[in-house]
Structures are given as structure tokens and as C-alpha cells.
Amino acid sequence: WFGTVRFIHFTAAYILIFNFLFRIYWGFVGNEYANWRNFIPLRRSQWVEIGKVLKVDILLGKMEEPLPSTGHNALAGVVYFLSFLVFLAQVMTGLALYSAMSDWPLANMFAWVVPLFGGDFGVRQWHHMLMWFFPIFILVHVYLVAYHDYVEGRGVMSSMVGGWKFIDRPSPGARSRR
């Protein structure tokens, strides 16, 4: 039984690692909405948008106008970037734990992590604590997607299935919001 659980754990980990690597690749070659620059707030307009999203999400303030973002909003981009970092730490601690019982070169590349955390117990504790980020992230993420779909009325959820999102066209001569 535990051998099966361990196999599922490792299989899921390798699938997630592959998806993570593909997402990094896609951040450089994908369209403008997938670009890595959307995940790190380098522009003032992104920080303004983060403030607006926090006002709506946390303070339940009224949204004066829909957010100008067609892809992810700026706060979502920051949270995705942080989740990438958490995932990277999760992979490093997982491969560090695996290095003690494996002679696979990829796992052994992370053997240095074990002494850094004071032994296997410390690494396992961090691996376990980091794991809780993902179910919490999923719950909050699904809630906020549904909430923004309701508040903005732009078809965020249906766009994940159908590929279409409702965006108002600016009137002729109107300046861009970005």
C-alpha cells in the first residue's frame, strides 16, 4: 500500500516538475498574456492595479470599472510568481529527501539541502509545511476566480472552457488604460 502511495507521490511530483519547466519556457515564448513580465510587478501601472485588486478582494470595495487586464490581474501574477518560488522550494526539499536513498544524479544535486536544514527531519518538516500552501492556494484561487467572475461580469470562468472573455472595446479616440 505505501509503495503505491509513494509511487503516486513521485509520479505526481515529476508531472508537476515537467509542467513547471514548461511554464517557465512558455513565459519566454508564449503570447503577451503568458509573458514572465506579467508575474513580476516592474511597472507603476501594475502596482496601481494590485492596490485596486486588494481593495476589492480584501476590503470588499466596489469596483468602479473592470480591471484593464485581459490576462491575469497584477496581484494574481505576483501570487503565481510566489507560488513558483514555493514550488521550487518544494521540489528542492523533495529531491533532497530522495537523495539519501537514490543514486539518481538529479536527486543527488540537492543533497546539500539536508545539512542546510539540520538533517532529514528539518527538510521533511519544511517539505510538509510547504505542501499546505497548495491546497490553501487552490481554495482561495477558486473562490477569487468565481468572485471576480461575479464582480467583473467578464466571463473569467467560462473563458477557461470556451476560450472567450468579454472585454469592452474602448470608444474611438479613447486612451488606453495601460
Three-state DSSP at 82 gives helix
In this predicted model, what pLDDT tens digit does every residue of 26-70 receive, in sequence order?
999 988 878 888 888 888 988 998 988 888 888 777 777 766 667
Confidence band, pLDDT 50/70/90 cuts, at residue 178:
very low
Cell reading at 55: 481593495
Q: What is the b/e burial string over 152-161, where b = at least 16 CB atoms within 10 angstroms of the residue's CB?
A: bebebeeeee
At 2 the pLDDT is: 86
Cell reading at 169: 472595446
- Report the distance separating Cα 97 and Cα 123, nearest Å: 7
Residue 113 buriedness (CB in 10 A; 0-12 / 13-18 / 19+):
buried
Give the position of cell 490581474. 73
Pick the more confident residue, 82 or 61: 82
Distances (CA, A) of 22 to 18, 19, 30, 32, 34: 6, 5, 11, 16, 12
Domain boundaries, the chain: 2-162
Are 102 and 117 in contact by the 8 Å Cβ rule? The answer is no
Are 63 and 56 in contact by the 8 Å Cβ rule? The answer is yes
At 151 the pLDDT is: 78
pTM of the predicted model, to two decimals?
A: 0.80
Cβ neighbours for 39, distance < 8 A, ≥ 6 positions apart: 27, 72, 77, 78, 80, 81, 84
Cβ–Cβ contacts within 10 Å for residue 81, how many?
A: 15
CATH topology (fold) of 2-162:
Fumarate Reductase Cytochrome B subunit (1.20.950)
- Report the distance separating Cα 27 and Cα 21, nearest Å: 10
Over range 130-142, report the average pLDDT.
Answer: 95
